[in-house]
Structure 1
Amino acid sequence: MDQPDTPKIENQLCFPFYVIAKEITGMYRPFLEELDITYSQYLVMMVLWEYERLTVNQIGEKLYLDSGTLTPLLKRLEAKNYIVRHRKKEDERVVEVFLTEEGNLLQKKACVIPGKMQQKLNLSAEELSTLKETLNKLLNKIEN
């Protein structure tokens, strides 16, 4: 029997976020399968396409991932010849990640994905912009 203070799933903010994250990730899958990468690998590649060279820690900060999660992703991307990892000579504890020529070529193929996702979601550019703005505002509140 329901008690007045029992949390209900339909009243929770976390549940729609959970479902949307899962569904959006699934919507990316067919596009990413064409590139032979996972969604997590796609996130790493997008950060590298933007910044070209980053340390593992910098990638982790940008994607909110710890090095234990990131290291296996980077190893798989390196095995596919999309990135190269090097230890810094000045401090061998620091690992830098660089794009390879193959990794740069992958960027050209991936450029169509945002448009395909917008089409699949059936959102106008304005709706998409408003949604991203709202989500970023919430993320900033969470971070502070």
Structure 2
Amino acid sequence: MSEAPRLDRQVCFALYSASKAATAVYRPVLDELGLTYPQYLVMLVLWENEPRSVRELGTELGLDSGTLSPLLKRLEAMGLVERRRSVEDERRVEIHLSDAGRALSARAGAVPQRLADAAGLSAAELAQLHDTLGRLTAALHSAI
């Protein structure tokens, strides 16, 4: 008779637990910035390259428009982003950083280090974990 699956041996549960723990470490750091974790993710994408269309943001973050639109409205109400119609295609809405949104990136620079410090892993171990998770994500997306 085969052994029943055990929770402590499931990769899915290890990923879930690690994600929850990482988000919990991020929470107080992001509170200092006035951002939630999903808002932080949107800001990261925009700090890398802006403007971005709503569709591009959704694709990159894996969020549907029903989740992303209210999030962007809140960021706009906070004065961090501006939503504008594209000059080339009026149907397309582009998200631009405001001056305050650009300035916030300097304050957010310490966020990754805070997670690294809490994780207690070396830079090499974190880089290896990042690479492994990237490969796992790509493989799982291919399997869908």
- 2:80 alignment partner AA: Y
What is aligned with 2:93?
95
Deviations 1:39-71 (A, max 9, x none): 100000000000121000101111111111111
- 1:42 alignment partner AA: Y
1:139 aligns with 2:137: yes
Unaligned runs of 5+ in 2: none
What is aligned with 2:9?
11
Q: CA deviation at 1:33?
A: 0.4
2:21 and 2:107 map into 1 onto residues whose CA distance is 23
What is aligned with 2:67?
69
Unaligned runs of 5+ in 1: none
- What TM-score does the superposition give when structure 1 sets the normalisation length? 0.92
Greater shift, 126-135 or 3-12, is seen at: 3-12
Superposed CA RMSD: 1.5
Q: CA deviation at 1:115?
A: 1.3
1:14 and 1:112 map into 2 onto residues whose CA distance is 29
- 2:31 alignment partner AA: E
1:122 and 1:12 map into 2 onto residues whose CA distance is 23
2:140 and 2:91 map into 1 onto residues whose CA distance is 30
- What TM-score does the superposition give when structure 2 sets the normalisation length? 0.92
What is aligned with 2:109?
111
